Amino acid sequence: PAIKQAILRTILALGIASFSGRLILGRLFSFVATAGSPAALRCLSFFAIFGMCYMFEALGLPSTLGAFLAGVLLSETAYRQQVDAVISPVREDFLGVFFITVGFFIDLNLVFTRPVLVLSTVSILLLSKSLVTMAVSRAAGLSLANALQVGLMLSQAGEFSLVMINTATNHGAFSPLQHRLLVTAIGVSLVSTPFLASVGRSLAEFLEQSKSEHEEMPPEPDTAAEVMVYGYGRIGRMISQVLDERLVRWMAFDNNPAVVNAARRRDLPVFYGNVMQMVTTATVGDPNESMMTGVRMVVFTIAEKAAMDIAIQMKSNHPDVRILASVMDLSEAKFLEQNGITPIMPTLPEDSMLLNLPIGIAVLDKLGYTEDEIGPMVREKRLELIREEEDQRRVLLDQGAEGLSADFRSIARWYTGSGSKLEGMA
C-alpha cells in the first residue's frame, strides 16, 4: 500500500507540474512580460519554483525534486533567456549557499579517523560512475577522448543522492555511521569535481593530439545559430526569411510577448528577451555569453540609441562577430562605422517589406555569399513581395470603394499594425 500511494502521489505531482507548466506558466509569463518589469519577472520565476517545491512537499515528495522540475519547465518557455538574465544577480549567491551546505555535510572527524574507509568509498563511487558514463557516451557515438572527459567530469555524485540518502536513513535503511560515510563521500566527490574536470580536459586534449598526428579528423557539425537577430518586427521577419532561403541557422529575440507567442506557435526560434538587460548582465562564464557560441553575425533591427550602445559593447566583447545595426540618419551610420559596425538604413522605417529587402541582402553579403548566389533568390523574393503588396493595395482600394478614404496616413497605420485592418480610415 505504501508503494502504491507513493506511485500515485508521484504521478499526481508530475501531472500537475506538466499541466501547470504547459498551460498556466506560459500564460502567466506572457502577462507579466507585458509590464516590462524585470522585478515582476524575477518574482514570478521564484513563485513558480517555490510553489512547485511546496506542492511536492505537500504530497510527501522531496521539495528538491519540485525545484528541479520547475527549472525544467522554465527552460521550456520562450522566456528562458530573459528569466536567466533577471535572476543572474542572485544566482551566484544561491550557488555559494549550496556549496557551503555541501561543506557542512563532510564529517572531518570521520575523514581523519578512518581515512582508508572514506577514500575507498570515494574511489569506488568515482570509478564506477565514470566507467558507466564513459560506456554510455561511447554508445551515444562520442569519441574516446570526449567520452573520457565526460566520464571524469560527471563522476561525482549528484545532489539528489543527498536527498535519497536522508530519506532512506529516516526510514531506517542506513545506520548513523553509514549515513555519515555516504554523505561525506558525496561531499568529497563534489569537492573533487574541478580537479577531475581539469584532468579529463587534459587527457582529452592529449588523446586528440595523438590521434590527429595519424589521421585528419573531420570537423564536427555545428548546430548553433549562426545569425542572431534582435527585434522580430517586419525587418526581423524579412531577415529570417532571407536566411531560411539559404538554410542559415538563426535565432531571434523580441520584447513583445504577442510577437514571440505568435512566432512560437509556428515553431520558429524566437524568444522573449530584452537585449539591453541580457547583454549588460552577462559576465564571463555566464550562460548569456554561451549564446554567442558559433554566432557569426548579430543584427539589431531596433533603430534606438540604447540598441546602438549595446551593439558597440557587443562588438568590443566579440570583435570577430559581424554586427549590423539599424540607424535613421547618416551621423549615426558614420558613428557605428567608426566602431566597426555595419549600419543598415531602412528606406522606410518598417513600412514596407519590399523596400527593406536590401537589408536581407546585406546580411547574406556579410555572411560571404556571392552575387550569383544572392541574385536568383532576391528576384524570386521581390516578385513574391510585389504580389503580396499588390494584394494589400487591392484590399485598400476595395475598402475605399465602400466609402472609406485610404489616405497615406491610414495606409501607414495599417502597414505598421497600429490599427486593425483599416480601422479609423474614415
Q: Model confidence over 128-170: pLDDT tens digits?
A: 999 999 999 889 888 888 888 888 888 888 777 877 887 788 7
More confident: 50 or 101: 50
Q: Is the pLDDT of residue 221 over 50?
A: no
389: pLDDT confidence band, cut at 50, 70 and 90? low
Lowest mean pLDDT among 50-59, 149-158, 389-398: 389-398
| 174, 165 Cβ separation under 8 angstroms | yes
Terminal alpha carbon distance of the chain: 72
Ranked by mean pLDDT, the top range of 164-168, 270-274, 312-316, 325-329 is: 312-316
Q: Would you tell me how many other CB atoms lie within 10 Å of the CB of residue 281?
A: 17
Q: What are the helix (H) ranges across 171-233?
A: 176-191, 193-212
| 45, 83 Cβ separation under 8 angstroms | yes
Q: What is the pTM of this model?
A: 0.49
- pLDDT the model gives residue 222: 44
Give me the phi and psi of 391, to 5 degrees please: -65, -40
Distance CA 376, CA 245 (A): 11
What digits encode the pLDDT tens for the residues 77-87? Answer: 777 777 887 88
Distances, alpha carbon 420 to alpha carbons 7, 391, 413, 414, in Å: 52, 17, 9, 7
| DSSP per residue, 70-94 | HHHHHHTSTTHHHHHHHHHHHHHHH
Beta strands in 73-158 (DSSP E): none
Lowest mean pLDDT among 174-183, 368-377, 404-413: 404-413
Q: Would you tell me how many other CB atoms lie within 10 Å of the CB of residue 157?
A: 22
Please give the grid coordinates belonging to residue 273: 528577451
Hey, is 324 helix, strand or coil? strand
- pLDDT the model gives residue 218: 42
| 82, 272 Cβ separation under 8 angstroms | yes
Lowest mean pLDDT among 26-35, 199-208, 349-358, 379-388: 349-358
Lowest mean pLDDT among 6-10, 271-275, 392-396, 410-414: 410-414
Please give the grid coordinates belonging to residue 147: 567520452
DSSP 8-state assignment for residue 221: P
Distance CA 41, CA 116 (A): 50
Q: What are the helix (H) ranges across 219-351?
A: 234-245, 257-265, 275-280, 287-290, 305-317, 330-338
